[in-house]
Structure 1
Amino acid sequence: MSYKKGIEVLPAHLLEEVQKYIDGTLIYIPKKGKRVGWGYSSGIRNAIDKRNKIIVEMFRMGKCIDEIADRFFLSEETIKKIIYSKK
């Protein structure tokens, strides 16, 4: 993210209007368009969802939580959250 000076990018009348609300403060202006959820652009969200389905299936087939945690290098608490989530 790069910072731009308002005086360089905004018309004078708009800059004056913005200064009424936030004079001398940093402001973030989001991009136009619909925002994509975390991990969907990179594909990691789909990979985690797939992993979680495998974890739930392993538990349903009788694997112990500690065995599953060891296999996926996750804590037992994390495995419990995945197994008992309402999804």
Structure 2
Amino acid sequence: MKYRNASEILPDKLLREIQKYTSGEAIYIPQVKERQKWGEGSGARRYYEERNEKICEKFKVGISIEELAEEFNLSVETIRKIIYKK
């Protein structure tokens, strides 16, 4: 991390406002990053999308909701939500 003189990069008005809170101290300003959606970083989102696609495919070929619930260790209600959501 490199340090830069705030007076060289910030407008005077903003610099004076910051000096009201801290003066002569080094402060860290974090980078702006967009937040990832749930599960994108860990891969969980993709895992559940693939699982849900498999459930829908198996239902379309005639496997019952009860059998799917048993196979995927999910409740019958959860299987219904997955199937009827798509």
Give the TM-score category using the shorter length. 0.5 to 0.7
Cα shift at 1:13: 1.8
**Alignment map for 1:63-78 (pairs within 5 Å):** 63-78=63-78
1:13 is aligned to 20
In the alignment, the residues of structure 2 paired with residue 12 and residue 66 of structure 1 have an alpha-carbon distance, to the nearest angstrom, of 65
Question: What is the distance in 1 between the residues matched to 2:82 and 2:21?
Answer: 49
CA RMSD of aligned residues (A): 2.0
Residue identity matched to 2:45? R
Q: How many residues align?
A: 62
> Deviation above 6 Å: which 4+ runs of structure 1?
none
- Taking the aligned partners of 2:57 and 2:21, their CA distance within structure 1 comes to 57
Task: Give the TM-score of the pair, scaled to structure 2.
Answer: 0.65
2:49 aligned with 1:42: no
Taking only the aligned residue pairs, the percentage that are identical comes to 43
Shift of 1:33: 1.3
Aligned residue type for 1:44: A
- Structure 1, unmatched stretches of 5+, are 1-10, 16-30
Tell me what 2:53 maps to.
53
Per-residue deviation, 1:14: 4.2
Q: Distance in 1 between matches of 2:81 and 2:67?
A: 15
Provide structure 2 residue ranges, at least 5 long, that are not aligned to the other structure: 1-17, 23-30
Aligned to 1:26: none
